[in-house]
Amino acid sequence: MTASVDPIQLMKQEVAKAAAARVHSGSIVGLGSGSTAALMIQYLGDRLQSGELKDIKGVPTSFQSSVLAKQYGIPLVTLDEIEYIDIAIDGADEVDPQHNLIKGGGAAHTREKIVDALAKEFIVVVDSSKLVDRLGTTFKLPVEVIPMAITPVARAIEKLGGKPELRMGVKKAGPVITDQGNMVLDVKFDSIDNPAEMEKTINNIPGVLENGLFVGLTDLVLVGEVKDGQPIV
């Protein structure tokens, strides 16, 4: 019996490999978070191991990506030790036609935005299911909130027309806690017509650390698709 391979997983593998192939020796690389970025970190590790790639340093965007980088032999640096990031590669939850993003499905958007925004080249790796005409259609907007402010922030978001939900962890035993020790509100908006304005408006609410709108940061989107049963980028 042949095991069936999930086409989404195949697409993720292909884009992750294509993105990892764009990293040059000597580069400082922003290491994204999520399942697609995790594959990309693994492929970078493979290239280091084979000797095809040399002397790269990684800047992790989450605890998850720092653990993976260590596992695959990628030396890490902090932002205090470097002056720039050559290339950052990260996943996304939604991508609009202008290549603005919603990120934060893994609650890592605060560190991701810091690292991705510092990169000279920011590459987004997604499968085709992430492409949308308008942000907010399929995915709720993640907002990282300092715990003491969760109630006033939720009320302020409702006044903006959003429906906030506290993100709960596995088995709903308690709220998801970010790498910074904060909580996440996932906010449903009927539509996000002006992502740039919405990004600033939400970040202006006292108690909000960062939201998952990434506007005007993306340099390249690599999209995985399945054509004639084969994954392509």
Confirm or deny that 65 is annotated as ligand binding.
no
Query: With binding defined as CB under 6 A, does residue 136 bind ligand 5RP?
Result: no
From the candidates 14, 83, 94, 112, give the one annotated as an active-site residue.
Answer: 112
Query: With binding defined as CB under 6 A, does residue 53 bind ligand 5RP?
Result: no
* Residue from 58, 60, 105, 224 binding ligand 5RP (CB under 6 A): 105
Query: With binding defined as CB under 6 A, does residue 109 bind ligand 5RP?
Result: yes
Q: How far is the CB of 120 from ligand 5RP (least distance, A)?
A: 20
Span of 106-114, 166-174, 182-190, 216-224 interacting with ligand 5RP by CB under 6 A: 106-114
Q: Which of residues 74-103 bind ligand 5RP (CB under 6 A)?
A: 90-93, 103
Confirm or deny that 107 is annotated as ligand binding.
no
Q: Which of residues 16-45 bind ligand 5RP (CB under 6 A)?
A: 32-37
The verdict on whether 94 is a catalytic residue reads no
Contact yes or no for 150/183 (Cβ under 8 A)? yes
Q: How far is the CB of 141 from ligand 5RP (least distance, A)?
A: 12
Confirm or deny that 120 is annotated as ligand binding.
no
- 47: how many CB neighbours lie within 10 A of its CB? 18
Looking at the annotation, which residues are catalytic? Answer: 112
Binding-site residues for substrate, please? 33-36, 90-93, 103-106, 130
